[in-house]
Structure 1
Protein backbone atom coordinates (compact mmCIF):
# COMPACT_ATOMS: atom_id res chain seq x y z
CA UNK A 1 0.00 0.00 0.00
CA UNK A 2 1.17 3.50 -0.82
CA UNK A 3 1.74 5.71 2.20
CA UNK A 4 -1.01 8.31 2.45
CA UNK A 5 1.42 10.98 3.54
CA UNK A 6 1.64 13.66 0.85
CA UNK A 7 4.78 15.49 -0.21
CA UNK A 8 5.46 18.21 -2.77
CA UNK A 9 4.90 16.98 -6.33
CA UNK A 10 7.82 17.06 -8.78
CA UNK A 11 6.91 18.18 -12.31
CA UNK A 12 9.41 15.69 -13.78
CA UNK A 13 7.52 12.89 -12.00
CA UNK A 14 4.31 14.08 -13.67
CA UNK A 15 6.04 14.25 -17.05
CA UNK A 16 7.18 10.64 -16.71
CA UNK A 17 3.71 9.61 -15.51
CA UNK A 18 2.12 11.13 -18.62
CA UNK A 19 4.56 9.23 -20.82
CA UNK A 20 3.62 5.97 -19.08
CA UNK A 21 -0.09 6.80 -19.52
CA UNK A 22 0.37 7.39 -23.24
CA UNK A 23 2.60 4.42 -24.02
CA UNK A 24 1.27 1.89 -21.50
CA UNK A 25 4.63 0.31 -20.73
CA UNK A 26 7.93 1.15 -19.05
CA UNK A 27 9.82 0.46 -22.28
CA UNK A 28 7.56 2.71 -24.36
CA UNK A 29 7.79 5.57 -21.86
CA UNK A 30 11.56 5.10 -21.58
CA UNK A 31 12.02 5.27 -25.36
CA UNK A 32 9.84 8.36 -25.62
CA UNK A 33 11.79 10.22 -22.94
CA UNK A 34 15.26 8.84 -23.72
CA UNK A 35 15.79 7.35 -20.26
CA UNK A 36 16.03 3.84 -18.83
CA UNK A 37 13.33 1.65 -17.28
CA UNK A 38 14.62 2.19 -13.76
CA UNK A 39 14.17 5.95 -14.08
CA UNK A 40 10.54 5.53 -15.18
CA UNK A 41 9.82 3.15 -12.30
CA UNK A 42 11.53 5.42 -9.76
CA UNK A 43 9.64 8.51 -10.96
CA UNK A 44 6.28 6.73 -10.77
CA UNK A 45 7.00 5.57 -7.23
CA UNK A 46 8.01 9.10 -6.30
CA UNK A 47 4.78 10.54 -7.71
CA UNK A 48 2.65 7.94 -5.92
CA UNK A 49 4.44 8.85 -2.70
CA UNK A 50 3.79 12.54 -3.23
CA UNK A 51 0.06 12.15 -3.94
CA UNK A 52 -0.39 9.40 -1.34
CA UNK A 53 -2.27 7.02 -3.63
CA UNK A 54 -1.62 4.16 -6.05
CA UNK A 55 -1.78 5.55 -9.58
CA UNK A 56 -1.05 2.58 -11.85
CA UNK A 57 -1.44 -1.18 -11.73
CA UNK A 58 0.70 -3.59 -13.71
CA UNK A 59 -1.18 -6.10 -15.87
CA UNK A 60 0.10 -8.77 -18.29
CA UNK A 61 -0.58 -6.48 -21.25
CA UNK A 62 0.83 -3.29 -19.69
CA UNK A 63 -0.02 -0.67 -17.10
CA UNK A 64 -3.54 0.55 -16.37
CA UNK A 65 -4.62 3.59 -14.38
CA UNK A 66 -6.37 3.41 -11.06
CA UNK A 67 -9.20 5.92 -10.42
CA UNK A 68 -6.64 8.13 -8.66
CA UNK A 69 -4.34 7.72 -11.66
CA UNK A 70 -7.07 8.87 -14.04
CA UNK A 71 -7.69 12.00 -11.96
CA UNK A 72 -3.95 12.70 -11.79
CA UNK A 73 -3.57 12.23 -15.53
CA UNK A 74 -6.24 14.85 -16.24
CA UNK A 75 -4.53 17.36 -13.98
CA UNK A 76 -1.07 16.57 -15.36
CA UNK A 77 -2.30 16.94 -18.96
CA UNK A 78 -3.69 20.39 -18.19
CA UNK A 79 -0.41 21.36 -16.54
CA UNK A 80 1.52 20.11 -19.58
CA UNK A 81 -0.62 22.17 -21.96
CA UNK A 82 -0.14 25.27 -19.79
CA UNK A 83 3.63 24.69 -19.60
CA UNK A 84 3.86 24.43 -23.39
CA UNK A 85 2.01 27.74 -23.75
CA UNK A 86 4.29 29.46 -21.24
CA UNK A 87 7.38 28.11 -22.99
CA UNK A 88 6.26 29.64 -26.27
CA UNK A 89 5.61 33.05 -24.76
CA UNK A 90 4.09 35.73 -26.97
CA UNK A 91 0.64 37.25 -26.94
CA UNK A 92 -1.72 35.63 -24.45
CA UNK A 93 -4.47 35.49 -27.06
CA UNK A 94 -2.35 33.72 -29.68
CA UNK A 95 -2.75 29.99 -30.26
CA UNK A 96 0.16 27.93 -29.01
CA UNK A 97 0.91 24.34 -28.12
CA UNK A 98 1.08 20.77 -29.36
CA UNK A 99 -2.00 18.97 -30.66
CA UNK A 100 -1.84 15.18 -31.09
CA UNK A 101 -3.93 13.61 -33.85
CA UNK A 102 -4.61 9.94 -34.52
CA UNK A 103 -5.95 8.63 -37.84
CA UNK A 104 -5.80 5.33 -39.77
CA UNK A 105 -2.55 4.90 -41.74
CA UNK A 106 -3.90 5.14 -45.29
CA UNK A 107 -6.08 8.11 -44.41
CA UNK A 108 -3.06 9.77 -42.83
CA UNK A 109 -0.69 9.06 -45.71
CA UNK A 110 -3.07 9.90 -48.53
CA UNK A 111 -4.90 12.88 -47.04
CA UNK A 112 -4.63 13.92 -43.38
CA UNK A 113 -0.86 14.54 -43.21
CA UNK A 114 -0.90 16.82 -46.24
CA UNK A 115 -3.81 18.79 -44.82
CA UNK A 116 -2.46 19.08 -41.27
CA UNK A 117 0.97 20.11 -42.53
CA UNK A 118 -0.65 23.45 -43.37
CA UNK A 119 -1.66 24.09 -39.75
CA UNK A 120 1.73 25.47 -38.58
CA UNK A 121 1.78 27.83 -41.55
CA UNK A 122 -1.74 29.15 -40.82
CA UNK A 123 -1.26 29.12 -37.03
CA UNK A 124 2.49 29.59 -36.36
CA UNK A 125 2.14 28.80 -32.65
CA UNK A 126 0.56 25.37 -33.17
CA UNK A 127 2.54 22.15 -33.53
CA UNK A 128 1.11 18.86 -34.81
CA UNK A 129 1.97 15.32 -33.77
CA UNK A 130 0.22 12.69 -35.92
CA UNK A 131 0.06 8.99 -35.10
CA UNK A 132 -1.06 6.85 -38.02
CA UNK A 133 -1.88 3.56 -36.30
CA UNK A 134 -4.05 0.86 -37.85
CA UNK A 135 -5.30 0.04 -34.36
CA UNK A 136 -6.82 3.06 -32.67
CA UNK A 137 -4.87 4.72 -29.87
CA UNK A 138 -6.55 6.07 -26.78
CA UNK A 139 -8.05 9.51 -26.27
CA UNK A 140 -8.81 8.53 -22.67
CA UNK A 141 -5.12 8.05 -21.93
CA UNK A 142 -4.24 11.31 -23.69
CA UNK A 143 -2.24 9.47 -26.35
CA UNK A 144 -4.11 11.73 -28.76
CA UNK A 145 -6.21 14.90 -28.50
CA UNK A 146 -8.13 14.34 -31.73
CA UNK A 147 -9.04 11.04 -33.35
CA UNK A 148 -10.36 10.41 -36.85
CA UNK A 149 -12.40 7.21 -36.90
CA UNK A 150 -14.33 5.15 -39.42
CA UNK A 151 -17.75 4.45 -37.91
CA UNK A 152 -19.46 6.21 -35.04
CA UNK A 153 -18.04 5.39 -31.59
CA UNK A 154 -20.49 3.66 -29.28
CA UNK A 155 -18.90 4.47 -25.94
CA UNK A 156 -16.58 6.92 -24.20
CA UNK A 157 -17.06 10.47 -22.96
CA UNK A 158 -16.30 12.05 -26.34
CA UNK A 159 -17.69 14.73 -28.59
CA UNK A 160 -18.19 12.95 -31.92
CA UNK A 161 -18.97 14.83 -35.13
CA UNK A 162 -19.55 13.36 -38.61
CA UNK A 163 -17.18 14.52 -41.35
CA UNK A 164 -18.71 12.71 -44.32
CA UNK A 165 -18.57 9.25 -45.78
CA UNK A 166 -15.91 7.08 -47.38
CA UNK A 167 -16.88 5.08 -50.45
CA UNK A 168 -14.90 2.14 -51.83
CA UNK A 169 -14.19 0.68 -55.23
CA UNK A 170 -12.07 -1.91 -57.00
CA UNK A 171 -9.00 -0.41 -58.64
CA UNK A 172 -6.53 -2.01 -61.02
CA UNK A 173 -4.38 -1.33 -64.05
CA UNK A 174 -6.19 -0.89 -67.40
CA UNK A 175 -4.89 -4.33 -68.46
CA UNK A 176 -6.25 -6.07 -65.35
CA UNK A 177 -9.61 -4.32 -65.67
CA UNK A 178 -9.89 -5.26 -69.37
CA UNK A 179 -9.18 -8.90 -68.57
CA UNK A 180 -11.86 -8.97 -65.90
CA UNK A 181 -14.38 -7.30 -68.21
CA UNK A 182 -13.56 -10.03 -70.74
CA UNK A 183 -14.55 -12.70 -68.21
CA UNK A 184 -11.33 -13.54 -66.33
CA UNK A 185 -11.77 -14.45 -62.67
CA UNK A 186 -10.56 -11.54 -60.47
CA UNK A 187 -7.45 -11.85 -58.33
CA UNK A 188 -7.49 -9.56 -55.32
CA UNK A 189 -5.17 -7.55 -53.08
CA UNK A 190 -6.23 -7.33 -49.44
CA UNK A 191 -5.04 -6.95 -45.83
CA UNK A 192 -2.28 -9.07 -44.34
CA UNK A 193 -3.07 -12.02 -42.07
CA UNK A 194 -2.59 -10.01 -38.87
CA UNK A 195 -5.30 -7.59 -40.01
CA UNK A 196 -7.62 -10.10 -41.68
CA UNK A 197 -10.39 -8.93 -39.34
CA UNK A 198 -10.48 -5.45 -40.87
CA UNK A 199 -13.95 -4.66 -42.31
CA UNK A 200 -12.69 -4.48 -45.91
CA UNK A 201 -10.94 -7.86 -45.64
CA UNK A 202 -13.91 -9.64 -44.04
CA UNK A 203 -16.30 -8.15 -46.62
CA UNK A 204 -14.07 -9.36 -49.47
CA UNK A 205 -13.77 -12.86 -47.99
CA UNK A 206 -17.52 -13.07 -47.48
CA UNK A 207 -18.52 -11.85 -50.95
CA UNK A 208 -15.72 -13.44 -52.99
CA UNK A 209 -14.98 -16.57 -50.88
CA UNK A 210 -13.28 -18.58 -53.64
CA UNK A 211 -11.18 -15.77 -55.10
CA UNK A 212 -7.41 -15.81 -54.86
CA UNK A 213 -5.68 -13.06 -52.83
CA UNK A 214 -2.29 -12.65 -54.51
CA UNK A 215 -0.90 -9.86 -52.33
CA UNK A 216 -1.48 -8.64 -48.80
CA UNK A 217 -0.49 -5.34 -47.16
CA UNK A 218 -1.52 -3.68 -43.90
CA UNK A 219 -2.95 -0.45 -45.37
CA UNK A 220 -4.75 0.85 -48.44
CA UNK A 221 -1.81 2.89 -49.74
CA UNK A 222 0.35 -0.24 -49.81
CA UNK A 223 -2.47 -2.14 -51.52
CA UNK A 224 -2.73 0.56 -54.18
CA UNK A 225 1.01 0.29 -54.80
CA UNK A 226 0.63 -3.46 -55.36
CA UNK A 227 -2.28 -2.82 -57.73
CA UNK A 228 -0.14 -0.41 -59.76
CA UNK A 229 2.41 -3.23 -60.19
CA UNK A 230 -0.32 -5.47 -61.63
CA UNK A 231 -0.75 -7.85 -58.67
CA UNK A 232 -4.53 -7.75 -58.94
CA UNK A 233 -7.56 -5.69 -57.95
CA UNK A 234 -7.39 -3.65 -54.77
CA UNK A 235 -10.54 -2.86 -52.81
CA UNK A 236 -9.60 0.63 -51.65
CA UNK A 237 -11.28 3.93 -50.80
CA UNK A 238 -11.83 6.30 -53.72
CA UNK A 239 -9.64 8.94 -52.11
CA UNK A 240 -6.69 6.56 -52.56
CA UNK A 241 -7.59 5.14 -55.97
CA UNK A 242 -8.41 8.47 -57.59
CA UNK A 243 -4.96 9.84 -56.77
CA UNK A 244 -3.22 7.01 -58.62
CA UNK A 245 -3.18 7.95 -62.29
CA UNK A 246 -2.08 4.49 -63.41
CA UNK A 247 -5.13 2.86 -61.79
CA UNK A 248 -8.69 2.84 -62.99
CA UNK A 249 -11.99 1.97 -61.36
CA UNK A 250 -13.28 -1.50 -62.26
CA UNK A 251 -16.99 -2.16 -61.87
CA UNK A 252 -17.77 -5.39 -60.03
CA UNK A 253 -21.12 -7.15 -59.38
CA UNK A 254 -21.06 -6.29 -55.67
CA UNK A 255 -19.29 -3.49 -53.83
CA UNK A 256 -19.10 -2.61 -50.12
CA UNK A 257 -21.27 -0.04 -48.42
CA UNK A 258 -19.98 3.37 -47.44
CA UNK A 259 -18.31 3.95 -44.08
CA UNK A 260 -18.85 7.10 -42.05
CA UNK A 261 -15.91 9.31 -41.09
CA UNK A 262 -16.06 10.81 -37.59
CA UNK A 263 -13.87 13.16 -35.59
CA UNK A 264 -13.58 12.67 -31.84
CA UNK A 265 -12.36 14.95 -29.08
CA UNK A 266 -12.57 14.62 -25.31
CA UNK A 267 -15.55 16.40 -23.80
CA UNK A 268 -13.30 17.98 -21.18
CA UNK A 269 -11.30 19.64 -24.01
CA UNK A 270 -14.29 21.42 -25.53
CA UNK A 271 -12.88 24.79 -24.38
CA UNK A 272 -9.29 24.00 -25.35
CA UNK A 273 -8.70 26.47 -28.17
CA UNK A 274 -5.72 24.76 -29.88
CA UNK A 275 -7.56 21.42 -30.02
CA UNK A 276 -10.78 23.04 -31.20
CA UNK A 277 -8.90 24.97 -33.87
CA UNK A 278 -7.21 21.88 -35.30
CA UNK A 279 -10.46 19.88 -35.14
CA UNK A 280 -12.31 22.64 -37.03
CA UNK A 281 -9.46 22.80 -39.55
CA UNK A 282 -9.78 19.06 -40.20
CA UNK A 283 -13.55 19.25 -40.53
CA UNK A 284 -13.24 22.02 -43.11
CA UNK A 285 -10.60 20.03 -45.01
CA UNK A 286 -12.89 17.01 -45.28
CA UNK A 287 -15.83 19.18 -46.27
CA UNK A 288 -13.83 20.88 -49.03
CA UNK A 289 -12.70 17.52 -50.40
CA UNK A 290 -15.95 15.60 -50.13
CA UNK A 291 -15.89 14.74 -53.86
CA UNK A 292 -12.58 12.92 -53.35
CA UNK A 293 -14.13 10.50 -50.85
CA UNK A 294 -17.61 9.84 -52.18
CA UNK A 295 -18.71 7.79 -55.17
Structure 2
Protein backbone atom coordinates (compact mmCIF):
# COMPACT_ATOMS: atom_id res chain seq x y z
CA UNK A 1 0.00 0.00 0.00
CA UNK A 2 1.28 3.46 -0.84
CA UNK A 3 2.75 5.45 2.05
CA UNK A 4 0.44 8.40 2.83
CA UNK A 5 3.32 10.61 3.96
CA UNK A 6 3.70 13.46 1.47
CA UNK A 7 7.07 14.86 0.43
CA UNK A 8 8.17 17.60 -1.93
CA UNK A 9 7.43 16.88 -5.59
CA UNK A 10 10.35 16.23 -7.93
CA UNK A 11 9.92 17.52 -11.51
CA UNK A 12 11.94 14.59 -12.88
CA UNK A 13 9.48 12.22 -11.21
CA UNK A 14 6.61 14.09 -12.88
CA UNK A 15 8.35 14.09 -16.26
CA UNK A 16 8.89 10.33 -16.17
CA UNK A 17 5.36 9.67 -14.92
CA UNK A 18 4.08 11.77 -17.84
CA UNK A 19 5.91 9.48 -20.28
CA UNK A 20 4.45 6.36 -18.63
CA UNK A 21 1.00 7.94 -18.70
CA UNK A 22 1.39 8.66 -22.41
CA UNK A 23 2.67 5.27 -23.50
CA UNK A 24 1.27 2.97 -20.76
CA UNK A 25 4.36 0.78 -21.07
CA UNK A 26 7.66 0.76 -19.17
CA UNK A 27 9.61 -0.17 -22.29
CA UNK A 28 7.95 2.49 -24.49
CA UNK A 29 8.45 5.20 -21.85
CA UNK A 30 12.07 4.11 -21.33
CA UNK A 31 12.74 4.32 -25.08
CA UNK A 32 11.13 7.75 -25.32
CA UNK A 33 13.26 9.14 -22.48
CA UNK A 34 16.36 7.04 -23.21
CA UNK A 35 16.55 5.62 -19.71
CA UNK A 36 16.24 2.06 -18.40
CA UNK A 37 13.11 0.34 -17.11
CA UNK A 38 14.31 0.47 -13.51
CA UNK A 39 14.56 4.27 -13.65
CA UNK A 40 10.96 4.57 -14.84
CA UNK A 41 9.67 2.27 -12.10
CA UNK A 42 11.76 3.97 -9.39
CA UNK A 43 10.68 7.47 -10.38
CA UNK A 44 6.99 6.55 -10.49
CA UNK A 45 7.24 4.95 -7.05
CA UNK A 46 8.94 8.10 -5.80
CA UNK A 47 6.10 10.24 -7.15
CA UNK A 48 3.48 8.00 -5.57
CA UNK A 49 5.28 8.38 -2.25
CA UNK A 50 5.34 12.16 -2.68
CA UNK A 51 1.61 12.48 -3.37
CA UNK A 52 0.60 9.70 -1.00
CA UNK A 53 -1.58 7.93 -3.56
CA UNK A 54 -1.40 5.05 -6.01
CA UNK A 55 -1.13 6.48 -9.52
CA UNK A 56 -0.76 3.44 -11.78
CA UNK A 57 -1.85 -0.19 -11.79
CA UNK A 58 -0.03 -2.89 -13.70
CA UNK A 59 -2.29 -5.01 -15.90
CA UNK A 60 -1.61 -7.72 -18.52
CA UNK A 61 -2.10 -5.23 -21.37
CA UNK A 62 0.10 -2.56 -19.77
CA UNK A 63 -0.16 0.17 -17.16
CA UNK A 64 -3.48 1.82 -16.35
CA UNK A 65 -3.97 5.09 -14.47
CA UNK A 66 -5.93 5.22 -11.26
CA UNK A 67 -8.32 8.19 -10.79
CA UNK A 68 -5.52 9.93 -8.90
CA UNK A 69 -3.14 9.06 -11.74
CA UNK A 70 -5.46 10.59 -14.33
CA UNK A 71 -5.48 13.84 -12.38
CA UNK A 72 -1.70 13.69 -11.89
CA UNK A 73 -1.19 13.18 -15.63
CA UNK A 74 -3.11 16.38 -16.37
CA UNK A 75 -1.04 18.28 -13.79
CA UNK A 76 2.21 16.85 -15.18
CA UNK A 77 1.22 17.90 -18.72
CA UNK A 78 0.44 21.43 -17.50
CA UNK A 79 3.82 21.57 -15.76
CA UNK A 80 5.53 20.49 -18.98
CA UNK A 81 3.66 23.18 -20.94
CA UNK A 82 4.62 25.82 -18.37
CA UNK A 83 8.26 24.74 -18.49
CA UNK A 84 8.29 25.05 -22.28
CA UNK A 85 6.67 28.48 -22.14
CA UNK A 86 9.14 29.77 -19.56
CA UNK A 87 11.99 28.35 -21.61
CA UNK A 88 11.41 30.58 -24.60
CA UNK A 89 14.58 32.63 -24.96
CA UNK A 90 14.91 36.13 -26.30
CA UNK A 91 17.20 36.90 -29.22
CA UNK A 92 19.57 39.82 -29.02
CA UNK A 93 17.37 41.88 -31.36
CA UNK A 94 14.38 41.42 -29.07
CA UNK A 95 12.49 38.89 -31.21
CA UNK A 96 11.24 35.80 -29.41
CA UNK A 97 12.96 32.54 -30.31
CA UNK A 98 10.48 29.71 -29.94
CA UNK A 99 12.07 26.60 -28.50
CA UNK A 100 10.58 23.24 -27.64
CA UNK A 101 9.17 19.95 -28.88
CA UNK A 102 5.78 19.78 -30.60
CA UNK A 103 4.23 16.33 -31.10
CA UNK A 104 1.97 15.83 -34.11
CA UNK A 105 -0.20 12.82 -34.91
CA UNK A 106 -1.88 12.23 -38.27
CA UNK A 107 -2.90 9.36 -40.59
CA UNK A 108 0.12 7.72 -42.27
CA UNK A 109 -0.72 8.57 -45.88
CA UNK A 110 -1.52 12.18 -45.04
CA UNK A 111 1.77 12.45 -43.15
CA UNK A 112 3.87 10.93 -45.92
CA UNK A 113 2.00 12.42 -48.85
CA UNK A 114 1.48 15.98 -47.64
CA UNK A 115 2.29 16.99 -44.05
CA UNK A 116 5.94 15.90 -43.90
CA UNK A 117 7.04 18.14 -46.76
CA UNK A 118 5.30 21.13 -45.16
CA UNK A 119 6.79 20.49 -41.72
CA UNK A 120 10.34 20.62 -43.05
CA UNK A 121 9.71 24.33 -43.63
CA UNK A 122 9.25 24.76 -39.87
CA UNK A 123 12.96 24.16 -39.30
CA UNK A 124 13.72 27.18 -41.48
CA UNK A 125 11.07 29.50 -40.04
CA UNK A 126 11.48 28.36 -36.41
CA UNK A 127 14.93 26.82 -35.92
CA UNK A 128 14.29 26.32 -32.19
CA UNK A 129 11.20 24.14 -32.64
CA UNK A 130 11.62 20.36 -32.81
CA UNK A 131 8.91 18.21 -34.39
CA UNK A 132 7.89 14.69 -33.34
CA UNK A 133 5.68 13.31 -36.13
CA UNK A 134 3.79 10.08 -35.42
CA UNK A 135 1.50 8.23 -37.80
CA UNK A 136 -1.50 6.19 -36.76
CA UNK A 137 -4.19 4.78 -39.03
CA UNK A 138 -6.55 5.11 -36.08
CA UNK A 139 -6.63 8.27 -34.01
CA UNK A 140 -4.79 8.58 -30.71
CA UNK A 141 -6.26 10.41 -27.75
CA UNK A 142 -4.87 13.85 -27.02
CA UNK A 143 -6.02 13.37 -23.44
CA UNK A 144 -3.06 11.04 -22.85
CA UNK A 145 -0.74 13.80 -24.09
CA UNK A 146 0.91 11.54 -26.67
CA UNK A 147 0.38 14.36 -29.16
CA UNK A 148 0.00 18.14 -28.93
CA UNK A 149 -1.60 18.50 -32.36
CA UNK A 150 -3.73 15.92 -34.14
CA UNK A 151 -4.86 16.02 -37.76
CA UNK A 152 -7.97 13.92 -38.32
CA UNK A 153 -10.21 13.05 -41.21
CA UNK A 154 -13.95 12.49 -40.84
CA UNK A 155 -16.44 12.93 -38.03
CA UNK A 156 -15.16 14.35 -34.75
CA UNK A 157 -15.90 12.63 -31.45
CA UNK A 158 -13.69 14.69 -29.11
CA UNK A 159 -15.97 17.17 -27.36
CA UNK A 160 -13.44 19.00 -25.20
CA UNK A 161 -10.84 19.89 -27.84
CA UNK A 162 -10.39 22.94 -30.03
CA UNK A 163 -11.05 21.94 -33.65
CA UNK A 164 -9.85 23.99 -36.62
CA UNK A 165 -11.22 23.09 -40.09
CA UNK A 166 -8.57 22.24 -42.69
CA UNK A 167 -10.82 21.72 -45.70
CA UNK A 168 -12.27 18.67 -47.43
CA UNK A 169 -10.58 15.53 -48.71
CA UNK A 170 -12.19 14.30 -51.93
CA UNK A 171 -11.53 10.98 -53.65
CA UNK A 172 -11.15 9.56 -57.12
CA UNK A 173 -10.04 6.39 -58.88
CA UNK A 174 -6.42 6.26 -60.03
CA UNK A 175 -4.24 3.68 -61.66
CA UNK A 176 -1.79 2.88 -64.43
CA UNK A 177 -3.01 4.18 -67.84
CA UNK A 178 -3.72 0.65 -69.14
CA UNK A 179 -5.90 -0.18 -66.11
CA UNK A 180 -7.85 3.06 -66.53
CA UNK A 181 -8.43 2.43 -70.24
CA UNK A 182 -9.84 -1.05 -69.60
CA UNK A 183 -12.22 0.21 -66.91
CA UNK A 184 -13.36 3.14 -69.06
CA UNK A 185 -14.11 0.70 -71.92
CA UNK A 186 -16.57 -1.03 -69.62
CA UNK A 187 -14.50 -3.97 -68.38
CA UNK A 188 -15.04 -5.01 -64.76
CA UNK A 189 -12.36 -3.13 -62.82
CA UNK A 190 -9.82 -4.77 -60.53
CA UNK A 191 -9.04 -2.87 -57.35
CA UNK A 192 -6.35 -2.25 -54.76
CA UNK A 193 -7.77 -1.63 -51.28
CA UNK A 194 -7.18 -1.94 -47.52
CA UNK A 195 -5.94 -5.19 -45.99
CA UNK A 196 -7.98 -7.34 -43.61
CA UNK A 197 -6.64 -5.66 -40.48
CA UNK A 198 -7.86 -2.29 -41.81
CA UNK A 199 -11.05 -3.60 -43.41
CA UNK A 200 -13.17 -1.28 -41.26
CA UNK A 201 -11.58 1.85 -42.72
CA UNK A 202 -13.97 4.24 -44.52
CA UNK A 203 -14.09 3.48 -48.20
CA UNK A 204 -13.60 -0.28 -47.91
CA UNK A 205 -17.27 -1.13 -47.35
CA UNK A 206 -18.29 1.55 -49.83
CA UNK A 207 -16.15 -0.04 -52.54
CA UNK A 208 -17.60 -3.49 -51.84
CA UNK A 209 -21.17 -2.20 -51.98
CA UNK A 210 -20.79 -0.24 -55.22
CA UNK A 211 -18.55 -2.65 -57.17
CA UNK A 212 -19.82 -6.07 -56.14
CA UNK A 213 -18.58 -7.83 -59.28
CA UNK A 214 -15.01 -6.59 -58.88
CA UNK A 215 -12.19 -8.35 -57.09
CA UNK A 216 -9.43 -6.86 -55.00
CA UNK A 217 -6.09 -8.06 -56.34
CA UNK A 218 -3.91 -6.48 -53.66
CA UNK A 219 -4.58 -5.27 -50.13
CA UNK A 220 -2.36 -2.83 -48.24
CA UNK A 221 -2.64 -1.02 -44.93
CA UNK A 222 -2.64 2.60 -46.13
CA UNK A 223 -3.26 4.82 -49.14
CA UNK A 224 0.44 5.39 -49.87
CA UNK A 225 1.04 1.67 -50.42
CA UNK A 226 -2.18 1.38 -52.39
CA UNK A 227 -1.15 4.28 -54.64
CA UNK A 228 2.22 2.66 -55.39
CA UNK A 229 0.56 -0.67 -56.16
CA UNK A 230 -1.96 1.03 -58.46
CA UNK A 231 0.80 2.93 -60.24
CA UNK A 232 2.62 -0.35 -60.85
CA UNK A 233 -0.43 -1.97 -62.43
CA UNK A 234 -2.02 -4.03 -59.65
CA UNK A 235 -5.41 -2.42 -60.15
CA UNK A 236 -7.32 0.80 -59.59
CA UNK A 237 -7.17 2.47 -56.18
CA UNK A 238 -9.74 4.75 -54.60
CA UNK A 239 -7.39 7.49 -53.45
CA UNK A 240 -7.65 10.97 -51.98
CA UNK A 241 -6.93 13.43 -54.79
CA UNK A 242 -3.87 14.87 -53.04
CA UNK A 243 -2.14 11.50 -53.53
CA UNK A 244 -3.49 10.66 -56.97
CA UNK A 245 -2.50 14.06 -58.30
CA UNK A 246 0.95 14.03 -56.71
CA UNK A 247 2.40 10.57 -57.41
CA UNK A 248 4.01 10.40 -60.89
CA UNK A 249 2.75 7.54 -63.04
CA UNK A 250 -0.84 7.58 -61.77
CA UNK A 251 -3.68 8.50 -64.11
CA UNK A 252 -7.18 9.59 -63.06
CA UNK A 253 -9.89 7.15 -64.11
CA UNK A 254 -13.38 8.27 -65.16
CA UNK A 255 -15.20 5.71 -63.08
CA UNK A 256 -18.17 6.39 -60.86
CA UNK A 257 -19.84 6.73 -58.50
CA UNK A 258 -17.51 8.27 -55.89
CA UNK A 259 -17.83 8.48 -52.10
CA UNK A 260 -18.55 11.90 -50.58
CA UNK A 261 -15.62 14.10 -49.50
CA UNK A 262 -14.51 13.91 -45.87
CA UNK A 263 -13.79 16.86 -43.60
CA UNK A 264 -10.26 17.40 -42.27
CA UNK A 265 -9.60 18.88 -38.84
CA UNK A 266 -6.71 20.08 -36.71
CA UNK A 267 -7.18 19.44 -32.99
CA UNK A 268 -5.43 20.77 -29.89
CA UNK A 269 -6.20 20.68 -26.19
CA UNK A 270 -7.86 23.82 -24.82
CA UNK A 271 -5.14 24.36 -22.25
CA UNK A 272 -2.51 24.45 -25.03
CA UNK A 273 -4.13 27.16 -27.13
CA UNK A 274 -1.76 29.86 -25.86
CA UNK A 275 1.47 27.83 -25.95
CA UNK A 276 3.62 29.75 -28.49
CA UNK A 277 5.35 26.72 -30.03
CA UNK A 278 2.08 24.84 -30.54
CA UNK A 279 0.36 27.93 -31.92
CA UNK A 280 3.19 28.49 -34.42
CA UNK A 281 3.09 24.93 -35.74
CA UNK A 282 -0.70 24.88 -35.74
CA UNK A 283 -0.91 28.07 -37.83
CA UNK A 284 1.75 26.79 -40.22
CA UNK A 285 -0.29 23.64 -40.86
CA UNK A 286 -3.56 25.56 -41.26
CA UNK A 287 -1.90 27.87 -43.81
CA UNK A 288 -0.39 24.90 -45.67
CA UNK A 289 -3.76 23.19 -46.07
CA UNK A 290 -5.41 26.46 -47.08
CA UNK A 291 -2.83 27.03 -49.81
CA UNK A 292 -3.41 23.51 -51.15
CA UNK A 293 -7.21 23.47 -51.28
CA UNK A 294 -7.28 22.64 -55.01
CA UNK A 295 -5.01 19.64 -54.40
CA UNK A 296 -7.51 18.08 -51.99
CA UNK A 297 -10.95 18.98 -53.30
CA UNK A 298 -12.78 17.61 -56.31
SS at match of 2:258: coil
Q: Runs of at least 4 residues of structure 1 off by over 6 A?
A: none
Report deviation, 1:74.
2.5
Q: Which residue of 1 aligns with 2:21?
A: 21
Count of aligned pairs between the two proteins:
295
Matches within 5 A, 1:221-240: 221-240=224-243
Report deviation, 1:245.
2.6
Alignment partners' CA distance in 1, 2:118 and 2:217:
33
TM-score normalized by the length of structure 1: 0.94
Q: Which has the higher mean CA deviation after the structures are superposed, 226-235 or 29-38?
A: 29-38
Alignment partners' CA distance in 2, 1:197 and 1:171:
21
Q: Does the CA-based 8 Å contact 1:152-1:160 persist in structure 2?
A: no
Report deviation, 1:89.
4.0
1:75-128: CA deviations, max 9, x gaps? 322333444466674448432211111110000001001111111211122111
Alignment partners' CA distance in 2, 1:117 and 1:66:
39
TM-score normalized by the length of structure 2: 0.93
Report deviation, 1:247.
1.0
Alignment partners' CA distance in 1, 2:126 and 2:39:
36
Name structure 1 gaps, 5 residues minimum. none
SS at match of 2:97: coil
Alignment partners' CA distance in 2, 1:58 and 1:210:
49
**CA root-mean-square deviation:** 1.8
Name structure 2 gaps, 5 residues minimum. none
Q: Which residue of 2 aligns with 1:199?
A: 202
Q: Which residue of 1 aligns with 2:282?
A: 279
Q: Which has the higher mean CA deviation after the structures are superposed, 178-187 or 84-93?
A: 84-93
> Which of 205, 208, 211 matches 2:211?
208
Q: Which residue of 1 aligns with 2:273?
A: 270
Q: Does the CA-based 8 Å contact 2:188-2:213 persist in structure 1?
A: no
Q: Does the CA-based 8 Å contact 2:88-2:98 persist in structure 1?
A: no
